[in-house]
Structure 1
Amino acid sequence: MKNSLVSTFLFTIFLIIAAINLVQSQNKDIDLLRDINLKRNMRLDGGFKVVTNTVIPVGVGAPVGMFATGLLTKDATLRNNGIEAGGSFILATCLTYGLKWTVRRPRPYDTYPDLQAVVKESSYSFPSGHTSAAFATATSISLMYPKWYVIAPSFTWACLAGYSRMHLGAHYPSDVATGIVIGVGSALLMHQGAKWYQKKYGVN
C-alpha cells in the first residue's frame, strides 16, 4: 500500500514536470486553442459558462454533503468518503495554485488579442484550476463508488468542464491537460492514503 502511494505520487510529479516542459513550446498549444475558440459554436457559450460555474459548487458541495450526511446518519463510511473527496479537492487546489504562482503563465487572451475571451480571470493560466477541481471530484467519487452510472456522468461533467475552459478562451490545451493530471493524481493519492491510514490505524 505504501509503495503504491509513493508510485502514484512520483508518477503524478513526472507528468506535471512533463507538462511544464510542454508549456515552453507554445506553437501547437495556441494553434489548437485557436481552432477551439475561434471556430466554436457561439450558441454554446452560455451552456459552457454554466458548466464552468458548477465546478466550485460541486467540488465543495459534494464532500461537505457526504460528510454532513454521514454525521447525521452515523454512517462512518459516508463521513470518511466526504473527508477523502474534500481532501482530493483541497490537494488539487493547492497544487494548482502553487504551480500558477511558480510558472506565472499569462492568460491566452492577454498574449493573443485575436482570441475571444468569453470569461476573464484574475489568476495565472497554468494549470487550469477548474479542470483540476472537476477531475479531482469526478475521480474521487468514482473511486469510492465504482459503478458505471456514477463514473460516466462524473467524467462527462469533468470533461465538459475542461473543454469549457478552452471554448471560453480562458485556458490553453496544456493548461487543461495538466489540470486533468493534477485532479486525477490528487484523487488517487488521497484514495491510496485513506486506504493506508484505515488499514494502519483500523479507522472505520
Structure 2
Amino acid sequence: MKNKGNVFKASYLTVFLFFATFLNAQNIDINILRDINVNRNKNLDPTFKFITNIAVPFSVATPIIIYSVGLIKKDSTIKKQAIFIGETFLVSAFITTALKHTIKRERPFNTYSDIDKATSAPGYSFPSGHTSSAFATATSLSMAYPKWYVIAPSFVWASAVGYSRMHLGVHYPTDVFAGAIIGSGSAYITYKANKWLNRKRSKKDR
C-alpha cells in the first residue's frame, strides 16, 4: 500500500510539473509574440505581407523551374535535383497538414485579443505551414546546390518568412520553430528515402 501511495504521489507530481512547464512555456510563447507583433513597426507590414504571400508560390515554382532547366539542357542530374526539392515540399506539406488537424491549436489572435491579425490566416496554428514550406525549399535547395551563394540567401529568405508570420500576428514562436524543424527534417527524410530506394534499385539491377 505504501508503494502504491508513493506511485500515486509521483504520478500527481509528474502531472503537476508537466502542466506547470506547459503553462510557463505558453506564457513565454505569447510574451515573445507580443514583443514582436504588438510593438511592431506597422510601416513594415506591406513588406512582411509580401514575404508571406510569396512563400508557398516560390516553394512550388522552384522545383518546376529547375526541372524545366533540366529538360532544356537535357540534364538528368538537374531533373533529379528538381524532383528531390519537389518531393521535400510534398513531405513537408503532408506532415504539417497532419499535425495541424491532430493538434488543432487555435491562432493567437483568436485566443488573445491584443494580438493584431495583419493578414488572412484560416485553419489551425501549429505548426506554421508557410515556415515549413520555406525551410523545406531552403534546405533541399542547399543540399542539391551546396554553395554559399545558394545556402545563405535561401535560409535568410526562409527565416524572413518565419518572422513574417509572427510580425503579422498569425503564429506563435513555437509554431514557427516547429515549422522550421519540419521543413528541414523533411529534406533529410526525403534524401535518406531516395538513397535507400536507389540502393534497392541498384541491387535489383545486379
What TM-score results when the alignment is normalised by the length of structure 2? 0.84
SS of corresponding position for 1:171: coil
- Rate the CA distance shift 1:22–1:139 in 2: closer, same or farther, 3 A: farther
Instruction: Show CA shifts across 1:142-173 (max 9, x none).
Output: 01111100000000000000000000001000
Decide whether the 8 Å contact of 1:22 with 1:174 is kept in 2. no
C-alpha deviation, 1:104, in angstroms = 0.5
RMSD: 1.8
> Counterpart amino acid of 2:100?
K
Q: Tell me the equivalent position of 1:48.
A: 48
Q: Tell me the equivalent position of 1:137.
A: 137
CA distance in 2, matches of 1:185, 1:23: 27
SS of corresponding position for 1:123: coil
Q: Tell me the equivalent position of 1:166.
A: 166
SS of corresponding position for 1:26: helix
Q: What's the % identity of the aligned pairs?
A: 49
Decide whether the 8 Å contact of 1:23 with 1:174 is kept in 2. no
Instruction: Show CA shifts across 1:31-89 (max 9, x none).
Output: 11001101111111110111111111110000111122212321111111111000100
CA distance in 1, matches of 2:64, 2:171: 28
Q: Tell me the equivalent position of 1:98.
A: 98
- Rate the CA distance shift 1:24–1:101 in 2: closer, same or farther, 3 A: farther
2:167 is equivalent to residue 150 of structure 1: no
- Rate the CA distance shift 1:24–1:67 in 2: closer, same or farther, 3 A: farther
Q: Tell me the equivalent position of 2:14.
A: none
- Tell me which of the two structures has the higher relative contact order, counting C-alpha pairs closer than 8 angstroms and 6 or more residues apart: 1
Decide whether the 8 Å contact of 1:131 with 1:179 is kept in 2. yes
Q: Tell me the equivalent position of 1:110.
A: 110
- Rate the CA distance shift 1:141–1:23 in 2: closer, same or farther, 3 A: farther
Q: Tell me the equivalent position of 1:126.
A: 126
C-alpha deviation, 1:23, in angstroms = 8.6
Larger Rg: 2
Decide whether the 8 Å contact of 1:93 with 1:132 is kept in 2. yes
Q: Tell me the equivalent position of 1:73.
A: 73
CA distance in 1, matches of 2:195, 2:69: 21
What TM-score results when the alignment is normalised by the length of structure 1? 0.85
C-alpha deviation, 1:24, in angstroms = 8.8
C-alpha deviation, 1:180, in angstroms = 0.5
> Counterpart amino acid of 2:69?
T
Unaligned stretches of 5+ residues in structure 2: 1-20
C-alpha deviation, 1:22, in angstroms = 5.9
> Counterpart amino acid of 1:184?
S
